[in-house]
Chains A and B, each alone.
Chain A
Amino acid sequence: MWSEHCSYKNSKNVLKQFPTTGQRVLQGPGENAGVVDIGDGQAVVFKIESHNHPSAIEPYQGAATGVGGIIRDIFTMGARPIASLNSLRFGSLKNKKTRYLFEGVVAGIAGYGNCMGIPTVAGEVYFHPSYEENCLVNAMCVGIMKHEDLAKGLAKGPGNPVFLVGARTGRDGIHGATFASEELSEASEERVPAIQTGDPFMEKLLMEACLEVLKTGYIVGMQDLGAAGITSSSCEMASRAGTGIEMDVAKVPCREEGMTPYEILLSESQERMLFVVEKGREEEIQAIFQKWDLEATQIGQVTVDGLMTIKEGAEIVAQVPAQALTELCPRYDREAQEPEYLAPAQEYDLGTLPEMEDYGKVLLTLLGTPTIASKEWVFSQFDYLGGTNTVVPPGSDAAVLRIKGYNKGIALTVDGNSRYVYLDPYRGGQIAVAEAARNLVCVGAVPLALTDGLNFGNPEKPEVFWQFKETVAGMSKACEVLETPVVGGNVSFYNETKGEAIYPTPIVGMVGLIEDLSQVTTPGFKEEEDIIILLGQNKDELGASTYLSIIHGLEAGKTPEIDLELEKKVQQATLELIKLKLAVSAHDCSEGGLAVALAECCLAGKIGAEVALTENLRPSGMLFGESPSRIIISIRKGKIDTVLQSLKKLQVPYKVIGSVGGEVLSIAGSGWKVKVELAEMEEKYRRAIPCFMQG
């Protein structure tokens, strides 16, 4: 319970910086998931969680149980899960081990989510050598419910019976939590028994049954069994309510014989829930579980003494104050120190870089880079249409789901660029939040709140802890300015192999609200003669760019500057134009800069564009610099005056940069021009990942 994974002992003090309140926040961090109001008495419930270490050892089951765990967190709150997302990081696809991990993780997510009938609607994948041995698998789940259905993990009411329901308890996953709180090593392969195996069908039954029993009103509290199994779920429930729990491990239905109390308490067998029932209502509850062919067993009751009393039959085998395991865990303020690599990397002189001869070729190379290329190979394995709510499927800036019975919807995204964070954790943290919000705005949504997945190395190393602190500070600042509070999240430390930490990787999972579904906007250019406008400012900022990394093999320079006030203006202007139905497409500039963003607009719309840029910047910086706070929109030709008037009124920097049409993307600057055929871009963009996976 005092492992980092369960206690957050190294991170709690830093995480206090996050703004966690707001008008729409119904439940902030501390519960199984965050809850945010979306009007009409409805709320969205969401959270992200990592399953990195298990996935690095056994990719299919590691990823599958990661999905299963986060889904349980959502329906435990009383919400029906309606969408899943994921954020994945792997090493280079040139490496056979990476392909094995990638293939297994994607299949595991698909296997679990598809069987549950919860559509996986959005995600992101980056490939970078720093994740070679330690891939990252962060899974997010989003549910929806009525305000009054909010359930909490409280063990209230002494005398109330405590039930365990779902799968039987086995020896799998014992020490999963401590395994997650150490560095991966050669010996990690021996940790295979610490990895749980998933049974999505059991979880589907559990979900339907739990949602049904919650409706009865006789459930006092409910908590899923995750890391550290019965131990953590029972302590957390008692600790939150200020009560104790007495339970008898001999009553726990086991799938193996001869399990010791220790094994039963620490088993991380999946698909199990602990709940407290109003005394006298046991039979009604049992009947519902029986309908779903589930075994619900009373294993104990709530007590007044604040103690966790564990018995085996009549004999007490353990007794500890519940709070001692949760609240009283020591917290550490670790030493933080700027890493040595940072100053020289930031000071690298990018001014002397040679310009390339053929920028069309560079653009094609970037489009064929797995991190930028189409992720269709991934998302076509996910049933992203289940539930018949998916209005914008994977592949756009954000996914959009409609809310049945209303003309409104929610937009969902996950984002995080670790190179930015590696080269400037404060700015990188700010950009992660800003980009997530920008993605939501591009589909026509107002950003509401976020869940954070913070993946770092060993926090006992001052350099890693410094990265962590700076990142959280940067994220907090952006959350404040953009008014997107943090309502829950997950910290994953010890992501290292052979003493090398991964790039610091904060992931932002953000939810937005679309008040009118007719406003949903997509990135693809629409019709011939539409006018293309760039909101924001072009600068020569090649630092931390994909271009530098792929073309020059450099992970250096300064992470682009971000002005959060400008960011806010660009986002507000985009939303305004979308609401007025003036913008017919919107897409944000991110990895690969303006050139890649324009190419993506063309590819999504299956139409070319002719663009002319007037800033006096060198072509590399102009085309591939990754300055944030830029959105490409397109509008109908006849609306240009109205649009420009609006933009002037909103006082947002903009440039009319070209028009839509043809089958070529051409971008001209002062004295240079790039021309690439749509078909050629398509080939590079679509074929990149499938090619690797066939080879």
Chain B
Amino acid sequence: MKFGIVVFPGSHGATDCYYALEQVLKEAVTYLWHAEEDLQGVDCVIIPGGYAYGNYLRPGSIARFSPIMKQVIAFGKQGGLILGLCNGFQILTEAGLLPGALIRNSSLRFQCQNTYLRVEQTQTPFTNLCTEKEIVKMPIAHAEGCFVVAKETLESLEKESRIVLRYCDEQGEITPESNPNGSLNNIAGIINEQGNILGMMSRPERCVEAILGGVDGKKLFSSLVEWWQGGAER
């Protein structure tokens, strides 16, 4: 399986994703420079965290106009796997690939901390190696991660089981205290209707090695590999 990591100017999470995939998960990976228009035949596009274009104006609002995004959008519409992490999630909502928006944290401050997430859906390319309601620990680091969406869309997200991850406490309870940024219904990650695009604010690439305090992020990347291999066999 070949992963492609989009690099906008300011996408400093790109190198962290690259390291996690190449050095830890031993997968093939390549960078996709924002000014190019070729996805180099990758099987999964990762839009990493960071500050694409400095997050000036509004996070993701400039990045979505980059040349590479035309291809990314087309790839996603054809069912290609896309994973948006943190700033990547913001960019996906700005690009219209995922519904809703990520506004300032309810604390009005940047927050870097560990969060617990409850896996709400395991029948996805991103979480198929997780168990039902599994609790995973992944750090967040953002100032604009409060997920908001129109009421009707929220209802359909819930109804269509498109909420894949929710912020919870250590025991898996969905509580206001365990919601770090004020996201509606504790939403931490959602997928699109076709189920091939996931956006999440937490950072799996930062927890793939025990020495850094956790390995739960591996499950997400390994799920993608598992799904892709299954698909290749199918």
Contacts and interface: CB of A to CB of B under 8 A. Distances in A.
Interface of A: 107, 110-111, 114-117, 199-202, 204-205, 208, 292-293, 379-388, 390-391, 393, 402, 404, 517
B38 to A, nearest CB: 17
9 contacts: A117-B12, A117-B13, A204-B51, A292-B9, A380-B111, A381-B112, A382-B110, A386-B141, A388-B212
Nearest to B16: A388
Given A381-B112, A383-B110, A384-B112, A115 B212 contact: no
A381 B53 contact: no
B12 A385 contact: no
Given A114-B141, A391-B211, A402-B211, A386 B54 contact: no
B113 interface: yes
Given A383-B110, A390-B212, A517-B211, 4 more contacts: A201-B51, A201-B54, A204-B54, A379-B112
A107 to B, nearest CB: 7
A204 B9 contact: yes
Interface string B1-34: 0000000011011011001100100000000000
A87 B211 CA distance: 27
A117 B50 contact: yes
B111 to A, nearest CB: 6
Contacts of B205: 388
B162 interface: no
B192 interface: no
Interface string B102-121: 00000001111100000000
B212 A391 contact: yes
Counting chain B residues whose Cβ lies within 8 A of the other chain, the interface size class is: 20 to 34
A293 B66 CA distance: 14
Contacts of B13: 117, 386
Contacts of A116: 12
Contacts of B206: 385, 388
A199 B141 contact: no
A383 B51 CA distance: 12
Contacts of B51: 114-115, 117, 200-201, 204
A110 B51 CA distance: 13
A117 B53 CA distance: 13
B212 A383 contact: no
Contacts of B143: 114
A200 B211 contact: no
B185 interface: no
Contacts of A385: 112, 139, 141, 203, 206, 212
A388 B209 CA distance: 9
A107 B109 contact: yes
Given A201-B10, A402-B211, A388 B20 contact: yes
A379 B111 CA distance: 9
A404 B211 CA distance: 12
Nearest to A291: B35
Minimum-distance CB pairs A-B, first 3? A117-B12, A201-B54, A383-B141
B65 interface: no
A169 B211 CA distance: 44
Interface in B42-68: 50-51, 53-56
Nearest to A111: B110
B110 A110 contact: yes
Contacts of A111: 110
Contacts of A379: 112
A204 B12 contact: yes
A255 to B, nearest CB: 16
B9 A205 contact: yes
A381 B16 contact: no
A404 B110 contact: no
Contacts of B9: 201, 204-205, 208, 292-293
A586 B111 CA distance: 28
Contacts of A200: 51, 54
Contacts of A381: 109-112
A390 B209 CA distance: 11
A67 B29 CA distance: 33
A384 B114 CA distance: 11
B145 to A, nearest CB: 12
Nearest to A693: B109
A682 to B, nearest CB: 15
Contact of A201 (B19, B23, B56, B111): B56
A289 to B, nearest CB: 13
A205 B12 CA distance: 11
B53 A387 contact: no
A385 B211 CA distance: 12
A386 B12 contact: yes
Nearest to B211: A391
A219 B9 CA distance: 23
A208 B11 CA distance: 12
B112 A383 contact: yes
Nearest to A409: B211
A271 B59 CA distance: 22
Given A385-B206, A386-B16, A115 B54 contact: yes
A199 B54 contact: yes
B10 A115 contact: yes
User: Which of A380, A384, A385: most chain B CB closer than 10 A?
Assistant: A385
Nearest to A110: B110
A202 B109 CA distance: 23
Nearest to B23: A404
B53 A382 contact: no
A414 to B, nearest CB: 19
Contacts of B20: 388
Contacts of A199: 54
User: Which of B10, B112, B139, B209: most chain A CB closer than 10 A?
Assistant: B112
A113 to B, nearest CB: 10
B17 to A, nearest CB: 9
B67 to A, nearest CB: 13
